[in-house]
Structure 1
Amino acid sequence: MREIVMLLVVAFGLGQSDTLPLKVTGLVPVPKPDLTQFELVVQTQLGQVEAGLQGTDDPTQLSLYLGEAGRHYHAYQLMASAKACYQNAILLDPNNAKWVYLLASLYRQEGLFDLARHYFVESLQLAPDYTSAWIQLGDISMEQGKIDDAEAVFKRALELDPEAVAAEVGLGRVAMEQDRPKDAIALFERALAQVPRADRLHYLIGTAYRAMGDREQANRHLAQAGRIGVRTPDPVLDALRELVISVSGYMTEGKKAFGAGDYDSAIQFFTKVIEIDNTNAEAHVNLGSALTLANRSDEAFKVFLAATELNNPPAELFYNLGFLFAQKGDFSSAEKQFKTVLNMEPTDQAAALLLGQVLEAQQKTDEAKSHYRIQMEAFPTNLDITFRLGFLLLQDDDFAGFSQLIASLSDESLRTHMDLAHLAARFWATSPDESLRDGARAVATMRWVLTQSQAPKALESMALACAVTGECDLAIIWIKKAIAAVDEQDPLSQRFRLVLRQFQATNCQQGG
Structure 2
Amino acid sequence: MGPRPNGPDELDRIGLTKAVNGGCTHGSHAEKQVGRVIIALILAALASTSCSTQPDSDLVEFPVAEEPVLPDLKDIDEGLADYITVRHNQVIQYPTSGSERGRLAMTYDVNNWSRQSIPVYEQAHLLDPYEFMWPYFVAHQNAKIGEYEEAVGMIEVALTIDPDYSAAWLWLGTWLLRLDRFDDAELAFERAYSIDQSFYSIVGKARVKLMSGNSQESIDLLEPLRVKTLHPEIFRLLATAYNDLGRSNEANVARALSKQEAALNWPDPIVIRREKHIRGFGGRLARAQRLLQANRVEESLRELLSLRTQYGDRPSLVSTLAWAYSAQGETTMAMETLQIGIESSPEHQPYYTQLGDLVSLTGNLDTAEGLLRKSVELNESDSEAHLRLGIVLMQQQRFDEAISAFNAVLDIGSSAIAEAHLHLGTIEGYRQQWDEAARHLKRTIELNPRHIAAHERLCYVYIEARQFDELDAALLWTQQLAIPPENFAQVLKYRDEVLANSE
TM-score, normalised on structure 1? 0.65
1:276 deviates by 1.5
Q: 1:497 to 1:93 in 2, by over 3 A?
A: same
Q: 1:306 to 1:360 in 2, by over 3 A?
A: same
Report the residue type matching 1:45 in the other structure.
Answer: Y
Q: Distance in 2 between matches of 1:133 and 1:483?
A: 41
* Equivalent residue for 1:68, pick from 78, 87, 103: 103
1:124 deviates by 0.3
Counterparts in 2 of 1:485-504, with a 5 A limit?
490-499=493-502, 501=503
Given the alignment of the two structures, is residue 363 of structure 1 paired with residue 392 of structure 2, yes or no? no
1:494 deviates by 1.7
- Secondary structure of 1:37's counterpart equals coil
1:46 aligns with: 84
1:141 aligns with: 176
- Secondary structure of 2:282's counterpart equals helix
Counterparts in 2 of 1:189-228, with a 5 A limit?
189-190=227-228, 192=229, 201-207=230-236, 210=239, 211=242, 213-214=249-250, 218=254, 221=257, 225=260, 227=262
Q: 1:492 to 1:222 in 2, by over 3 A?
A: farther
Q: 1:114 to 1:261 in 2, by over 3 A?
A: farther
Q: Distance in 1 between matches of 2:312 and 2:324?
A: 17
Q: Distance in 2 between matches of 1:234 and 1:483?
A: 41
Contact 2:356 2:369 survives alignment (8 Å): yes
1:133 deviates by 1.9
1:101 deviates by 1.6
2:141 aligns with: 106
Q: Distance in 1 between matches of 2:356 and 2:255?
A: 29
2:46 aligns with: none
- Secondary structure of 2:231's counterpart equals helix
Counterparts in 2 of 1:39-438, with a 5 A limit?
39-55=77-93, 61-162=96-197, 164=198, 166-167=200-201, 169-171=203-205, 173-174=207-208, 177=211, 178-179=214-215, 180-187=218-225, 189-190=227-228, 192=229, 201-207=230-236, 210=239, 211=242, 213-214=249-250, 218=254, 221=257, 225=260, 227=262, 230-235=265-270, 237-257=271-291, 265-290=299-324, 292=326, 300-312=334-346, 314-371=348-405, 385=420, 392=427, 395=430, 418=442
- Secondary structure of 1:204's counterpart equals helix
1:32 deviates by 2.6
- Secondary structure of 1:490's counterpart equals helix
Report the residue type matching 1:492 in the other structure.
Answer: R
Show CA shifts across 1:38-61 (max 9, x none).
Answer: 34343333223222333456xxx2
Q: Distance in 1 between matches of 2:263 and 2:331?
A: 19
Show CA shifts across 1:124-160 (max 9, x none).
Answer: 0112122332232233234444444333323322322
Report the residue type matching 1:66 in the other structure.
Answer: R
Q: Distance in 2 between matches of 1:382 and 1:218?
A: 23
Show CA shifts across 1:370-425 (max 9, x none).
Answer: 5456666666996865775576567558x8xx99x99xxxxxxx989615899xxx
Contact 1:307 1:313 survives alignment (8 Å): no
1:28 deviates by 5.4
Contact 2:429 2:461 survives alignment (8 Å): no
1:274 deviates by 1.7
Contact 2:132 2:162 survives alignment (8 Å): yes
Q: 1:154 to 1:352 in 2, by over 3 A?
A: same
1:426 aligns with: none
TM-score, normalised on structure 2? 0.66
Q: Distance in 2 between matches of 1:80 and 1:483?
A: 52
1:123 deviates by 0.5
Q: 1:124 to 1:221 in 2, by over 3 A?
A: same
1:8 aligns with: none
Alignment coverage as a number of residue pairs: 414
Q: Distance in 1 between matches of 2:493 and 2:128?
A: 69
Show CA shifts across 1:189-216 (max 9, x none).
Answer: 43x4xxxxxxxx5323443565464479
**Using CA pairs below 8 Å that are at least 6 residues apart, which structure has the higher relative contact order?**
2
Contact 1:326 1:334 survives alignment (8 Å): yes
Contact 1:95 1:126 survives alignment (8 Å): yes
Contact 2:169 2:191 survives alignment (8 Å): yes
Report the residue type matching 1:81 in the other structure.
Answer: Q
Q: Distance in 1 between matches of 2:302 and 2:139?
A: 27
Report the residue type matching 1:54 in the other structure.
Answer: I
Q: 1:159 to 1:333 in 2, by over 3 A?
A: farther
Contact 1:189 1:205 survives alignment (8 Å): no
Report the residue type matching 2:165 in the other structure.
Answer: Y
Q: Distance in 2 between matches of 1:47 and 1:367?
A: 58
Q: 1:324 to 1:230 in 2, by over 3 A?
A: farther
Q: Distance in 1 between matches of 2:360 and 2:264?
A: 28
Contact 2:233 2:264 survives alignment (8 Å): no
- Secondary structure of 1:134's counterpart equals helix
Q: Distance in 2 between matches of 1:396 and 1:147?
A: 57
Show CA shifts across 1:81-113 (max 9, x none).
Answer: 321112122233433322212222222333332
C-alpha RMSD of the superposition:
4.5
Q: Distance in 2 between matches of 1:175 and 1:453?
A: 35
Unaligned runs of 5+ in 1: 4-23, 193-200, 407-413, 423-451, 465-474, 502-512
* Equivalent residue for 2:75, pick from 14, 37, 44: 37
1:310 deviates by 3.0
